[in-house]
Structure 1
Amino acid sequence: MNKNPQITVLSMKTKVSVCIVILLLYFTYGAEAIDYYFHPKTGNDLANGTSEMSPFKSLGKLGELKLEPGDRILLAAGEEFTETLSIINVHGSFEHPILIDSYQNNGTTSIGKAIINARGLLNGVFVSNSSHIIIRSLEISANGPLDDIGYGEMRVGVMLLGIGNDKIQNIHLEDLNIKNVFHEKEGVSRSQTEVRSANGTQKYGWGIRLVAQDNSEIEQIEIKKTRIENVSHTGIKLTGTQRQNIRNIRIYDNEVTRTGGPGIQMSGVKFVHVKGNDVSYSGSEDDSRKWGRGSGLWTWSASYVMIEHNRFTHANGPGDSAGAHIDFNCDNVILQYNFSAENAGGFCEILGNNYNCAYRFNISVNDGHRIKGENGAFQEGKIFWLSGYQGEQKPRKGPINSYFYNNTIYVKPGQTSKIAVDNGSNGLLIVNNIFHLEGPVEFVAGDQYKQDESKGDKNLQRVLFENNLFLHSTNWPKNSMLNDQKPLFGSARFKNAGGLDPQDYIPLDDVVTKGIPISFIPGDDFGLMSGLEMNQDFLTNPIDANPSIGAIKFINN
């Protein structure tokens, strides 16, 4: 018990004083924050720029401002700026980020977003060595150059570029509309050789790019509620180094459509969460300037990536072009609760030298319809593909510890379902899936530039393949090197087979109640980064002690 009341009073006074100082500091930041207005028509770069009545005109004026935490850069809604918005060496704070936004011009009919037309420029928005910034409510386009600028291979809607020892941190990209981004003038076309190259070798336009070179780092980036449409290559692309110097990235609730390349692609990254995105028509060919090939999403040299609750549909291209695939040199990449449909390349694709990756509780509809040799296709489409490819200069090495469980796979009558497995794959679990394949099924050779090894002296190691529901006994190829040891046969009787809504694949037959618990692959002590057990099915129904087969549990009504 404190016997000195004076000490207690002094202690209380000290605490009160500290609180007052903290509050004063907090509100001081807010009081000092400045709003800067920009209007491309009525603005004047000699004005003070701090009110709607006296806005700046040129976005180049930003380079002259000493921006402080809490400041706002406000661009007139509905007006077109024909400059790059450059943010270089600008730093807000975590509590008081700098905001770049559109403003509605009082007394006028201006609505919507401010427009940045970067035609003839390399970037619509450019960010380098900056932190704690929110960029939102802008429309960005860059449809070909006025003249050939003669340098650079990328034209980008929003570019975050780290070079040297730069650090880009806590940047939020929200509610952007990025469209019509092309490096070339109309009429340029791509050769078959260009489309067959790994990522394209020519000049392209991209939606959003994060590029971390040298010793730079890009961390804590959020891309949210943004629409990207009609670009000649990738919609959202993250490119780090072997150090995986792009980290802690969130890609949430975006719409990406009609990209000439992949919808979303990431390499050299760690700790990425991709959730709630709608990616459609990747690999689009509706403009000759587009690459014409690309999965909805793919990872390469990536670690700890969670891809969930997304929709991947209508991917196109002569190779790859799955709904979402895991390229080589990855670990701990999980795809769960995704809806994949009508993707030419297929559903599950895991390439070589990958560790502890998984597809679970996904729904696939009519994926893998591509036929090798038709319309320039150099790969078969496949519903399930494990490949040993890990680069053209390296020997085959199949993926290690691949988990594939509780997926629902539907393929319509008349479409051939194809499966390929490299015999160097080591550690594989295929359990509790529904293979509802109405047409024929074939075992084919994997064909990433050269064929995977599916025959010979090698045998698959550490395989647990059992308790999957097949529509009939021919739903898995007889000449496959692996077969279900305890198969189930019958129809789940989907609510509306062939539909493009997840609820169409609610099972109406209780045969799907015969699931078994998911266990570790023999010899794998790690499993998956978030564990093997799931608390809910695709439609958020709780999973009880009795496991189900497929992505959606049977509910007896």
Structure 2
Amino acid sequence: MSSPIPVFRYLAIALIAASGLPFTQATTYHFSESTGDDNNPGTYDAPMQSLAKASSLQLSPGDEVLFKRGDIFAGHFAVNGSGSAFEPIVISSYGEGDLPILTGQVGEAGGGDYQEAVLVENQDNITFEFLEIQNERLSSRPGIDDIDAYGIQILNTSAGIMENFTFRNLTVRKVYAPKPILRDEGEDAFNGLEVAGIRFFTAWNAVAGNEKQIRNILVEDCFFTDLQRLGIHIKHGGASNGVGNDELNRNKDIIVRNNEFQNTGGTCVLPIRTYNCLIENNLFYRPGSDADSRMPNRGSSVWTWRCINTVIQYNRCISTRGYLDSHGIHIDHENLNTFVQYNYMEDCEGGFVEILGGNVNSVYRFNVSVNDGWRDNPNWKNSNHTIWINEKGPGDTVHRCEHTYIYNNTVYMDRDFSTAIDIDGKHTYIYNNIFHAEGGDIGGKQVVVENNGTELFMRNNLFSGNIDSRFQNMDTAPIEGTPIFDRPGETNKYAYQLQASSPAINAGTTQLGPPIPGAGTGVFKDLTPYPKVDFYGNPIDLSSGTPNIGACNAKNGEIQSRPLSPISKIRVFPNQLHTQNGSEEKLTALASPALADDTSIVWSSDNASVATVDVSGTVTTHSEGVALLTAKSDNGQSDSCYIIVGNVSASMSANARQWMWDNQLDPNQSDLADTAPTGNPLLIHYALDTPPSQAIQFQFDTSDNRITAHFKGSRSDLSYSALAASDLEEWQTTSVSPPDSQGMRSLSVSSPASNAGAFFKIQVTPN
């Protein structure tokens, strides 16, 4: 039995039907580490077990490979087979509970940890969804470099194009190489560290006519955390002279949107040689982290290198860290047409604008920067910047940037630090920006501007507060005065809208930067060549009239309210733990989004005699047994860790225990749940093995003097009883019906006791 088909797959089927194309006879393969066997056929009732078995399957268009929720699959899954554009291969999950974990960590006993948990080499048209991917490599593996580790690797070493990869609703975390590369290792070592949650790599193009690339990539609604360096790495190896062109020698048509990144040791998204890349609506929280000692502690939210046509918009870049780089969004060497627009950046250690050598048409517009650029390195005077346009290309060659546009941004500072302004380029445009510093100063560390024989177009910027005069005096039409923000000092973009009396209103100059190539088509289909709105959705026309200065173009003090941002999800890591009495363990609870209005979390234990947990997530064990340790927010979001202490058998899954508590039943007293036959669904999880895994959904009806329980689940041996007014009838074991087209089974009780309709008990028994 396969899982219900999501709506988007129904749409794909409908499109195939409408097109007249033939359907492929697809197969669904189920895998359960806890109850499966590789000799099984892979059905819902008889799942296979291992990643090795999954790798041996010859997959075809439309096939599904489904891993059971709550299970951990250790090994190496090499996807063998390609889907088609209308019928992709789907790698997903089934059942209820926590996402299944796929990890390459098998230890020395397994021959050493694998380079990646999932490998797709020279296969395509594949969707990954509803999985957790890990790969904490602690042991070496022969033939694998100790500085390499990936969660999922998509690899093109073929003689052509791979296309159509979708990643959605994944959790990607805990990916580390055995050998950390830290600050003292130097620049070359750092650049060689490519540990990533998801990596796309296309090998060097050496033969004309056989150019290879990966194209049509979508990564959306995923969660990345606790990664040694990179979240998503997209890289093309380049080409020999005379082979291919700028478009063929890059990975192409890429969208990264609606994802959340927390605590990556380096950069969240690192595109290298891409063509048409859209990165939007992501939350980048603490890139460049040093939360784990193996992290290199250097990164930016996004870091582009030799890319063509890149749009980075509507992202939140919060608390970037690092001893080098580590700006909000970072345009590295030799990119063409890079648009950084409509982003909110806050508390980024390196600074606001970073553009390194060799770039053409780099654009920062309609962004809000709050307290960026506070790094202080006594050995590097200008270690932090409000604006940094660098002249150095790869290998320390001189390759100056040309046609750089920084306009209609709002830069706000109210902390006691000083930044630098460093510009060494050609044809630089800085206009319609607000620079406001009421604490610290902008430009006080250093102001160096080299125009190299070209004009510096700098005008109609509003300077307020402590702005270095060397920078301010370069403006040919400066505006002075307090910008009169709506709620200055708050840490959100909505605070920096303009009140009606602001001197920034109608004070800007009309000047168009470059258009976005391909706007209105492909991955840029929803974009316009030139901005039509400001950061807040107010209309703007930079070709005529009098635009405002800054990121807000409201003319009469129209204020867009900041929407509430409640916690939408809590994730507890690890979610299963087997330990011994007397031990002390540490749990981590991450709230999403990281910028929720209230991220306070309360911990609890459902069995304090076995284990307790304090406010920091530290677990103390007291006796053998099982307990559910839960982190819960004020708005009711929660997640749990199911802990087994000592050598005891788990009788019930974590989700079952949580359900029973929610329904005023004590899971420490009974493995059974009672319910009246109301027709309402009842979800109970039972575990009869380790790790916990069993999900059955019941729905009750009564007719013809019978009580029938309809349910979804893989077990076929259920016991039942009708509860009479006096005594419980003897438990009997009965067979149940095969699953119907919706996966429902039925169990009937004939001639129940007179008031059996009051309660009905179902008990799962071992096979």
Quick check: TM above 0.5? yes
- Kindly report the root-mean-square deviation, in angstroms, between the aligned alpha carbons of the 2 structures: 2.5
1:30-69 → structure 2 map (5 Å cutoff): 32-49=25-42, 51-69=43-61
Amino acid at match of 1:83: G
Change (3 A) 1:193 1:384: same
2:169 to 164, 167, 175: 175
* 1:348 alignment counterpart: 353
2:122 to 129, 147, 164: 129
Please report how far the alpha carbon of residue 383 of structure 1 lies from its aligned counterpart in structure 2 after TM superposition: 0.9
Between the aligned partners of 2:278 and 2:183, the Cα distance in structure 1 is 34
* 1:437 alignment counterpart: 437
Change (3 A) 1:287 1:484: same
Please report how far the alpha carbon of residue 418 of structure 1 lies from its aligned counterpart in structure 2 after TM superposition: 1.9
Amino acid at match of 2:136: N
1:136-215 → structure 2 map (5 Å cutoff): 136-147=129-140, 149=142, 151-152=144-145, 153-184=147-178, 191-194=182-185, 196-197=186-187, 200=190, 205-215=195-205
Amino acid at match of 1:543: I
Change (3 A) 1:136 1:325: same
Please report how far the alpha carbon of residue 287 of structure 1 lies from its aligned counterpart in structure 2 after TM superposition: 1.3
1:255 lines up with 2:249 in the alignment: no
Compare relative contact order (CA 8 Å, sep 6+) and give the higher one, 1 or 2: 1
Please report how far the alpha carbon of residue 441 of structure 1 lies from its aligned counterpart in structure 2 after TM superposition: 3.1
* 1:19 alignment counterpart: none
Change (3 A) 1:192 1:54: closer
* 1:408 alignment counterpart: 410
Please report how far the alpha carbon of residue 305 of structure 1 lies from its aligned counterpart in structure 2 after TM superposition: 0.3
1:118-517 → structure 2 map (5 Å cutoff): 118-119=104-105, 120-147=113-140, 149=142, 151-152=144-145, 153-184=147-178, 191-194=182-185, 196-197=186-187, 200=190, 205-215=195-205, 216-242=212-238, 244-373=249-378, 380-394=383-397, 396-422=398-424, 425-438=425-438, 439-442=440-443, 459=452, 461-472=454-465, 475=467, 477-480=468-471, 483-508=474-499, 509-517=501-509
**Does the CA contact (< 8 Å) of 1:154 and 1:183 recur in 2?**
yes
Between the aligned partners of 1:78 and 1:177, the Cα distance in structure 2 is 14
Change (3 A) 1:25 1:491: closer
Amino acid at match of 2:423: V
1:29 to 4, 23, 34: 23
Please report how far the alpha carbon of residue 164 of structure 1 lies from its aligned counterpart in structure 2 after TM superposition: 4.2
Amino acid at match of 1:414: D
Amino acid at match of 1:385: W
Amino acid at match of 2:413: V
Amino acid at match of 2:101: I
Question: TM-score under structure 2 normalisation?
Answer: 0.62
Amino acid at match of 2:557: N
Change (3 A) 1:48 1:189: closer
* 1:3 alignment counterpart: none
Please report how far the alpha carbon of residue 536 of structure 1 lies from its aligned counterpart in structure 2 after TM superposition: 1.0
Q: Kindly, what percent of the aligned residue pairs are identical?
A: 28
**Does the CA contact (< 8 Å) of 1:471 and 1:490 recur in 2?**
yes
Task: Please give the per-residue CA displacement for 1:424-482, whole angstroms capped at 9, x wherever unaligned.
Answer: x1111111111012222336569xxxxxx856xx745122110011114x52x334597
**Does the CA contact (< 8 Å) of 2:64 and 2:89 recur in 1?**
yes
Amino acid at match of 1:294: G
Amino acid at match of 1:129: N
Between the aligned partners of 1:296 and 1:25, the Cα distance in structure 2 is 42
Secondary structure in structure 2 of the residue aligned to 1:503: helix
Amino acid at match of 1:502: K
* 1:553 alignment counterpart: 553
Between the aligned partners of 2:196 and 2:266, the Cα distance in structure 1 is 9
Farther off after superposition, 206-215 or 507-516: 507-516
**Does the CA contact (< 8 Å) of 2:463 and 2:472 recur in 1?**
no
* 2:613 alignment counterpart: none
1:74-85 → structure 2 map (5 Å cutoff): 74-85=66-77
**Does the CA contact (< 8 Å) of 1:176 and 1:225 recur in 2?**
yes
Please report how far the alpha carbon of residue 415 of structure 1 lies from its aligned counterpart in structure 2 after TM superposition: 1.9
Amino acid at match of 2:23: Y
1:537 lines up with 2:528 in the alignment: no
Farther off after superposition, 248-257 or 112-121: 112-121
**Does the CA contact (< 8 Å) of 2:182 and 2:295 recur in 1?**
no
Between the aligned partners of 1:63 and 1:113, the Cα distance in structure 2 is 20
Question: Aligned residue pairs: how many?
Answer: 505
Change (3 A) 1:444 1:454: farther
Between the aligned partners of 1:307 and 1:255, the Cα distance in structure 2 is 15
Please report how far the alpha carbon of residue 126 of structure 1 lies from its aligned counterpart in structure 2 after TM superposition: 1.1
Between the aligned partners of 1:535 and 1:495, the Cα distance in structure 2 is 23
Change (3 A) 1:485 1:528: farther
Secondary structure in structure 2 of the residue aligned to 1:549: coil
**Does the CA contact (< 8 Å) of 2:411 and 2:434 recur in 1?**
yes
Between the aligned partners of 1:201 and 1:533, the Cα distance in structure 2 is 35
Between the aligned partners of 1:53 and 1:539, the Cα distance in structure 2 is 53
Change (3 A) 1:236 1:310: same
Change (3 A) 1:65 1:273: same
Between the aligned partners of 1:551 and 1:162, the Cα distance in structure 2 is 41
Please report how far the alpha carbon of residue 320 of structure 1 lies from its aligned counterpart in structure 2 after TM superposition: 0.6
Query: Which one has a bigger Cα radius of gyration?
Result: 2
Question: TM-score under structure 1 normalisation?
Answer: 0.85
**Does the CA contact (< 8 Å) of 1:431 and 1:464 recur in 2?**
yes
2:100 to 87, 94, 114: 114
**Does the CA contact (< 8 Å) of 2:122 and 2:158 recur in 1?**
no
Between the aligned partners of 2:125 and 2:182, the Cα distance in structure 1 is 43
Secondary structure in structure 1 of the residue aligned to 2:457: strand
Between the aligned partners of 2:289 and 2:100, the Cα distance in structure 1 is 28
* 2:612 alignment counterpart: none
Task: Please give the per-residue CA displacement for 1:192-225, whole angstroms capped at 9, x wherever unaligned.
Answer: 432x515616766321111111233111111111
Between the aligned partners of 2:464 and 2:471, the Cα distance in structure 1 is 18
Secondary structure in structure 2 of the residue aligned to 1:512: coil
Consecutive unaligned residues in structure 1, runs of 5 or more: 1-21, 105-109, 447-452
Between the aligned partners of 2:272 and 2:386, the Cα distance in structure 1 is 24
Task: Please give the per-residue CA displacement for 1:346-392, whole angstroms capped at 9, x wherever unaligned.
Answer: 11111111111100000000001001227xx7851101111101023
Farther off after superposition, 308-317 or 137-146: 137-146
**Does the CA contact (< 8 Å) of 2:459 and 2:475 recur in 1?**
yes
Between the aligned partners of 1:352 and 1:253, the Cα distance in structure 2 is 30
Amino acid at match of 2:234: L
**Does the CA contact (< 8 Å) of 2:172 and 2:197 recur in 1?**
yes
